[in-house]
Structure 1
Amino acid sequence: MASIGIIGAGTAGLHLGLKLLSHGIPVTLYAEQDPAKLRTGRLLNTVAHHSPTRNRERELGVDHWSGPHADLHSVGIHVNGPQPFGLRGRLDSSTIFVDYRLYQPRLAEDFVARGGRLEVLPVDVAVLEAVTLRHDLVVVATGRNGLTSLFPRIPELSPHTKPARLLFAALLKGVHMQEPISMIANLVPGHGEIFEAQVITRYGRVPSILIEALPEGELAVLGQQRYDADPRAFEALLMDRLRRFAPTTFERVEPEQFGVLGPMDWLQGSLTPMVRQGWARLANGRCVMAVGDTHVTNDPVAGQGANAASASAFALAASILDAVGMDRPFDEAFCRDAETKTWAAAAPATHWTNALLQPPPPHVVDVLVAGSQEQRVADAFVSAFMVPERILAACGSPESAAAFVANSRQPAPAVSPAMDAPAWQLPPEEVVVPVARVH
């Protein structure tokens, strides 16, 4: 039986490893550090997993956090310009936010429990060559230690040559969370975006914030000024920007309690979106594949990075399983074919993300306006917003956008009385994260 090595224990590596294990393929996962150490480390992201990824998690048997305490069914989108307007839609399939300091260690435990081998081994290019001699195929699912340098940038698929946004993300205290569980996207022309969500963490469910700041806008200071240099001053600055640019979040802030939840519960940085070649030949003649962020790095503005990583991992798993079934070697021809399929899985998320990094065209604004006036359009839009293939088909042209609005106005199929009422029908109430949760 073919032996597969995976460098990196993030979403792409874990989903690929678990999928291959489920088909009896021996897999070794090489992690830079013991995944259990992530539990006490710094916030890694504020990642959303949307319905296609959640379906893959159910298939893998790793849907550990679902339930009415976690599933998000409602999304608000607010355009905060000279003439502000907004919509609130109900998702046809729920989304979930789970702190990766819970998610990745738990999936690593699942991987080992199911017979996978986990080895803590920092891998650079030299070590990678040695690792390739242990396996029939090695997949690189991390960009650490210079490994991304193996996979050249593809210019025609990578329109950005520098970061499009400056980022600040944090778990918060002193913010009343919306019930039912909701996400809010504040689109601020000329300044960027502010996303509020609710994340399942070791503290329970808590509010989160993601600032996507245009470098020339008034949100940029939140990505430039270090939080830990003066936390109180930074929190005052953050509260001011919420007041000015995210009023529906600010109105639920308790000023005397407001702040970052704990000293490790924030993240700042930036990245350059990029598509790289999906395979490489090493000096020893062996070929390696890239998957996840190593292959395609997306800005988090669309909330699609982990979803694209999972989709591409499943696509690569299918290619590996086909090769094993046909006794096909993992050579350059295999890598080229597999790259085509993993890019097809990741491409919609990349195109959607790059679209969101640009000002919306008039026909997309028209859809948003229609959603602000008609609930059926709002529901259809936010449901499509979470799935790149759907939103690209809906808003790819003025004609498709007009057809999307027209189709959305049609009555939805009747819901069987035997079905449980969806979470968004529950009566509203509010919850505040107490200051005591910091300790």
Structure 2
Amino acid sequence: MGIMIGAARSATIVGAGQGGLHLAYGLMASGWKVRLIADRTPSQYMNLGALSGHMLQQRSIAKERAAGIDLYDSLINNSACGVDFALSANGVDIDMHFQGDFEAPAIAVDTRLKCSRALETFIRRQGNVVYHSASVRDLEEWAEQDDAVFVATGRGALSGLFELDEARTVYEKPQRELLLLIVRGIQAPREENVGRIKFCFNPEHGELFYGPQVHFTNTPVHQVLVEARPGGAMDRFAGISDGEQALKVAQSLFVDFAGWEADNVSGMRLADPKAWLRGAVRPLVRKPVATLPSGRPVFGIGDVLMVLDPAAGQGGNAAAWGIDDLLKGLRELDGPVVRRDWYEDRFEQFWEREGRHFSTFSNMLIEPPNEAIQTLFGASLRSRAVADRLVSTFAHPKVLMSYIDSVESAERFAREAEQGVRLQPPLSSS
């Protein structure tokens, strides 16, 4: 079975989240007839609880823009300019602290707003949206009708059609218990902290983060993320049943594990009654093609194929890069059949070129730092140039990979930063 690329190319995309919308926009711009399956209307998106806390770097936003997603132009400016990193073993004394700037401002948009607006615009551009909760039987029907079916929802039974890639899946279970809040009222009294993502690390128990976000009302807020090691002292989530309880737990964790931030978060309040989310994520990788009972293939995208821990904020970025790469591959084809093996090969190339680096980078932030990372942290303490260079790798994790295999490599990274050497990926990259 394969996809005929010709005058009447058609696709069904199951899932209208960030990944599905990105692919739908890009395919429609390339002349495909697209059927987008959504289980929520734009207005229903706006009535949900918090969905995720991802932040996109400008390189990733550029890939969405290339597909035709232009919602960022209508948003208020509440971007993040960089990172404020603090590590404390006892929650009181800061053992390590540095600040660094991104290469360009990063933007976190309330997923409820992003998906609602992008879906509205897709409809306005005459995109075909079918509101339906898809089943395997539906996939069979669409696979018979269309040239391709792409599964873009990583939740529920459909993602289970895709076989786990055991060789690339490092963890057998979630490494953190997660609590996400979208809040108002965080104070950042010092000028140098305005617009920064606060990373507060406890080596034994987990991490606390907060940073700027755009709320679904298009107003400035902060997103707060707690990452607690399961069963550890930060794992206080049992019994949380509403947003006010979640808020109190988060504030108590800042008091106990990042005491220097306690005053800043003491007045925070939920941005809306549903602005919180509790969960756990197992980082994993799945095979890119699933086989339906009929033998027809369906193709995974985004977090169907790569699930990343949110600590490094790379889930949305990895999805944007992967879909951009897929769109380029489909545009390059003119006439030949796109077979199962083509799709598998395309994902394999993306994994080797970019995907594995997003995964490694994300896992680094939930593991004890190796000697090379410790060297980079130490150099960042001493030099703002090194800190800026290190923080800028959030926009393209691949560029860091050749510097973390040894202390010598990390020292070379620091020297180059002091010399003003621009970061470049080790191999050609999109």
- Mark the CA change 1:252 to 1:35 in structure 2 (over 3 Å): closer, same or farther: same
Match of 1:241 in 2: 253
How far apart, in 1, do the equivalents of 2:195 and 2:115 lie? 23
Give 3-state SS (helix, strand or coil) of 2:204's partner: coil
* Alpha-carbon distance in structure 2 between the residues aligned to 1:288 and 1:352: 29
Q: In structure 1, what is the Cα distance between the partners aligned to 2:289 and 2:244? A: 46
CA distance in 1, matches of 2:186, 2:313: 22
Judged with a 3 Å threshold, the aligned counterparts in structure 2 of structure 1 residues 115 and 398 are, in CA distance, closer, same or farther, namely farther
- Return the alpha-carbon distance in structure 2 between the equivalents of residues 150 and 198 of structure 1: 36
Q: Secondary structure at the match of 2:171?
A: coil
* Aligned match of 1:14: 21
Question: Is 1:330 aligned to 2:338, yes or no?
Answer: yes
> Is residue 82 of structure 2 the alignment partner of residue 74 of structure 1?
yes
Contact 2:181 2:247 in 1 (8 A): no
Q: Are the aligned partners of 1:177 and 1:198 in contact in 2 as well (CA < 8 Å)?
A: no
| Matches for 1:13-412 after TM superposition, within 5 Å | 13-65=20-72, 69-81=77-89, 84-177=95-188, 180-203=194-217, 204-222=219-237, 224-228=238-242, 234-253=246-265, 255=266, 257-323=267-333, 325=334, 327-344=335-352, 345-411=354-420
Maintained 8 Å contact 2:102/2:394? no
Contact 1:6 1:140 in 2 (8 A): yes
**Larger displacement relative to structure 2 (63-72 or 261-270):** 63-72
1:263-294 C-alpha deviation (Å, 9 max, x unpaired): 20000010211111100222222211101111
Gap change, CA 1:385 and 1:330, over 3 Å in 2: closer
Q: Which moved more, 1:90-99 or 1:67-76?
A: 67-76
Shift in CA distance, 270/373, structure 1 to aligned 2, threshold 3 Å: same
Answer whether contact 1:5 1:28 (CA < 8 A) is retained: yes
Letter in 1 for 2:348: T
SS in 2 for 1:184: strand
Contact kept, 8 Å, 1:21 with 1:115, in 2: the verdict is no
Unpaired segments of 5 or more residues in structure 2?
1-7, 423-430
Q: Distance in 2 between matches of 1:199 and 1:42?
A: 15
Over aligned residue pairs, what C-alpha RMSD do you find? Answer: 2.1
Residue 145 of structure 1 deviates from its aligned partner by 4.0
The alpha-carbon distance between structure 1 residues 161 and 85, as it changes in their structure 2 partners (threshold 3 A), is same
Aligned counterparts of 1:42 and 1:22: Cα–Cα separation in 2: 31
Structure 1 position 342, deviation (Å): 4.3
The structure-2 alpha-carbon separation of the partners of 1:5 and 1:227, relative to structure 1 and needing over 3 Å to count, comes to: same
Paired AA for residue 125 in structure 2: R
TM-score (norm 1): 0.87
The answer to whether the Cα contact below 8 Å between 2:179 and 2:226 also exists between their aligned partners in 1 is: yes
Q: Which of structure 1's runs of 4+ aligned residues deviate more than 4 A?
A: 231-234
Question: Are the counterparts in 2 of residues 6 and 139 from structure 1 also a CA contact under 8 Å?
Answer: yes
Q: Following the alignment from structure 1 to structure 2, what is the Cα–Cα distance between the partners of residues 77 and 396?
A: 22
CA distance in 2, matches of 1:233, 1:269: 15
CA contact (8 A) 1:313 1:342 kept: no
State the percentage of identical aligned residues. Answer: 27
Query: Which residue identity is paired with 1:292?
Result: G
C-alpha contact (below 8 Å) 2:64/2:320 kept by paired residues: no
**d(CA) in 2 for partners of 1:8 and 1:134?**
18
Give the TM-score normalised by the residue count of structure 2.
0.89
The answer (yes or no) to whether the contact 1:177–1:207 under 8 Å persists in 2 is no
Q: Give the drift of 1:232.
A: 5.0
Q: Per-residue CA shift, 1:203-256, capped at 9, x if unaligned?
A: 41112210111113221113x34141xx55553332221122223432323x3x
Q: Give per-residue Cα distances to partners, 1:138-167, cap 9 Å, x unaligned.
A: 111113441122111111100111111100
The answer to whether the Cα contact below 8 Å between 1:291 and 1:309 also exists between their aligned partners in 2 is yes
Question: Which consecutive residues of structure 1, in runs of 5 or more, have no partner in the other structure?
Answer: 414-439
**What do residues 383-404 of structure 1 show as CA deviations (whole Å, max 9, x unaligned)?**
1134211232333432221110
Offset, 1:9: 0.7
